[in-house]
Amino acid sequence: MRSRVAGNVLWMLTDRGLQVAVGIAVVGMLARALGTEGFAHFQYAQSLVFIAASIPLICSAEVVVPRLVARPAPEATHALLAHAFAIRLTAGIAGYALMCAYLAFTQQSADTWIPAAILGTAIMLREPFGVVIAWMQARTHNRPNVVFNLIALAAKAGLIGALFFTGVNLVPAYATAFAIEPLIAAALLAWYYLSRAPGTVPTRDASLTRDLVRDGTLFWVSFMLMVCARRADQLILKPLVPLAELGAYAATMQVLDNFTTVATILAAGVAPMYVFGQQSVGAARRNVLRVTGGMIAIGLGGAIILVLCAEWVVQLLYGQEFSETVVLLRLAALASTLIFADVGLSLLPVYLRKPRWVAVKWALVLATTVVVDLVAVPRLGTRGAVLGYAMANAVALIFGLALVLRTRPATAIASA
């Protein structure tokens, strides 16, 4: 069993690592092809889609996977997945409609709303068809999903490479290439599940739908707050700074997003054995602090390398037009170390099954980002947004550390 779990985790880490590596190359081609202003439009559209895509998370894997494990019968599993799919698809359509309404209300230019409309199709594909991924997780068999992701990723990367090397510099063309990835992944997931699922159509169960929505609401709120906290800065920046500066800032965040993904990969690799596998809350708490210390060391080491190599990294990925990104990257890189610490500390509320703590944390992070950005950006421009990024990460770290230090094993066991 342990070898099966270890192999499953290895497949998941491989998938994530390859996505990061390919993502870096894709962003580099995108920035060079579109320039600072075109890249700014594309990243702003992606931020809108990223926020709207949190709406279908109302019935997340945290709700679906435990139920699948508890109901292994094929008919019960099929009924549960069908209801989760219907909830997510309905929420996805609503998310896409809300995004379009926001674009219309804010009177965005065609340079923004056309790529947003194309990229936004992923809102109705990723999470609804992601119920199959939850089914695989419940069976501890993620390898097919990794293979499907790599096929879709290769198609996207190949199409973007073809556009780049043929000299295409149209934002909608690259948005279409990005939209190909979730479409292919959704088709492969649907084929894989339907070829193995019962041939019957489940009867609609209103009580099951209510239970899934009710149990998933708190996780959903947490996810939405997290997504908004990570993208609010770019929404605030767009009307306040020139597009070229927004493009430089977006490029900085792209580098840091790929860098800090290492934290989630490391956490996913060590948490099952060193934290979630602990029977004692005290032992889990001690291991959380140890893991966090190691994460801080890795994050700080990587941040120092980014500071020293910022000019080379920006030149390699983005080109000469993004010279302002060098300064922003050096300022923001050290602040990204705080994310490594936060990811480590966040393992404790997950272990204790306390999604309410996670929701409160992200609410504080979002509020900090918005307040600091609204005060600092008009005075400091993109550097004010970097200040907001650092302050928000600091708030997340302080909150997580306070939870770990205040949690007592006896009371934690009772509450868990």
Judge whether 52 and 98 are in contact, CB under 8 Å.
yes
Which residue carries 């995004």 as its tokens? 99
Statement to judge: residues 166 and 67 lie in one domain: yes
Statement to judge: residues 160 and 307 lie in one domain: no
- The residue among 163, 180, 203 that closes a domain is 203
Statement to judge: residues 138 and 178 lie in one domain: yes
Statement to judge: residues 47 and 196 lie in one domain: yes
How far apart are alpha carbons 362 and 221 in whole angstroms? 9
pTM, two decimals, is 0.80
Nearest-5° Cα angle at 145, 46 to 94: 40
- Which CA distances in Å does 226 have to 126, 261, 353, 413? 18, 15, 17, 27
**To 10 degrees, what angle do helices 171-194 and 110-119 make?**
10
Which range marks the domain in which residue 325 is found?
Answer: 216-410
- The residue among 203, 224, 259 that closes a domain is 203
Q: Which pLDDT score is estimated for 416? A: 45
The answer as to whether 416 is a domain residue is: no
**Residue 96 CB neighbours (<10 A):** 22
The answer as to whether 338 is a domain residue is: yes
Residue 177, C-beta contacts closer than 8 angstroms, at least 6 positions apart: 156, 159, 160, 163
Read off the pLDDT of residues 183-197 as tens digits, 9 standing for 90 and up: 999 999 999 999 988
Statement to judge: residues 80 and 194 lie in one domain: yes
The answer as to whether 210 is a domain residue is: no
Statement to judge: residues 183 and 230 lie in one domain: no
Statement to judge: residues 238 and 282 lie in one domain: yes
Q: Which pLDDT score is estimated for 221? A: 86
Which among 238, 258, 259, 260 has a CA at the least distance from the CA of 247?
A: 238
Residue 202 is given by DSSP the state P
Statement to judge: residues 221 and 363 lie in one domain: yes
The answer as to whether 415 is a domain residue is: no
Q: Using 70 as the pLDDT threshold, list the residues of the chain that sit under it.
A: 1-13, 15-16, 269, 272-273, 277, 408-416
Domain count across the chain: 2
Read off the pLDDT of residues 18-52 as tens digits, 9 standing for 90 and up: 777 787 788 888 888 888 888 888 989 998 999 99
Statement to judge: residues 255 and 192 lie in one domain: no
